[in-house]
Every structure is written in C-alpha cells, then in structure tokens.
Amino acid sequence: MKRWLIVGFLSGAAAVLFFHQGAAALLHAAGFTPRAPYSFAATQPWGVPLVWSLAFWGGVWGVVLAAAVRRLDRFAVVGAPEDCARRLRELAGLGLERFVITSASFRADRDHVRTSEELLTGELLPALRGYSRE
C-alpha cells in the first residue's frame, strides 16, 4: 500500500509541474491569462514558492486518487474473464444474488466494444453458467 501512495504523490506532483503548469504556460503565451506559470512567488504562511505549493497539493490529490483506485476492486469487478468469474463467484458466496454486468463504456472505440462483448458472451457468462452458491 505504501508504494501506491508514493507513486500517487509523485504522479500528482509531476502532473502539476508538466500538465497543469504546461497548460498555464501555453495560455499565458497566447495571452489568455496574465498569470505566469512556474511562479516562485511566496505563499502564506511559510513563504513556500507557489509552484512547489501547487506540486505538493497535486501530490496530495494524487495520493487520494491512488488510494481510491487501489480500492476499486471493492466496488467494481474488472479484469480478465477468468478473474471476473472468480470474483463474481466470491461475491455470490457472500450472499449477493444479482449483478449488473456491462461491457464497454459510453463512447468507447467500436473495436473495443466488440472485443469486450465477445469476452463477456464468449468467456465470462459461460464460466458462470450453472454456478450455484449452495
């Protein structure tokens, strides 16, 4: 778990430095905003340069996102058909009786949708047929 948090922090901080401040640089260069990117102006209360403060808080939000993604398997069943079948059987064994199963998401690439539906109907559903929790 600690590795996820570290990776989350570093990813969030890097995202601020490269993407957020990079977009701010483009907007500033195009004249859409008067604020210059990568500002070293002191922030309150400790006088930390603004860019480092932004990177720190980006890292904090990266930790929050990493923790949420790490726990995704508690709320969703995602993965290869055999992994999904195993997890659905585990959940059924806990007393769950109904599941909502979807393939691809809205606006997904058509080839991705087709592949997802083939895996769902060709592998996952057959692996669940005849399963009884008794």
Dmax over CA atoms of the chain, in Å, equals 68
Pairwise CA distance, residues 108 & 96, whole Å: 29
pTM, two decimal places: 0.60
pLDDT at 14: 97
CB 3 within 8 A of CB 62: no
Percentage of the chain modeled with pLDDT above 70: 93
Mean pLDDT on 72-77: 76
Q: Is the pLDDT of residue 93 over 90?
A: no
| Apex 122 CA angle, 96 and 116, nearest 5 | 80
3-state DSSP assignment of residue 16: helix
pLDDT tens-place string over residues 54-68? 999 999 999 999 988
pLDDT band at 117 (very low <50, low <70, confident <90, very high): confident
Sequence spans of domains, the chain: 2-70, 77-128
107: left (phi over 0), alpha (psi -120 to 50) or beta: left
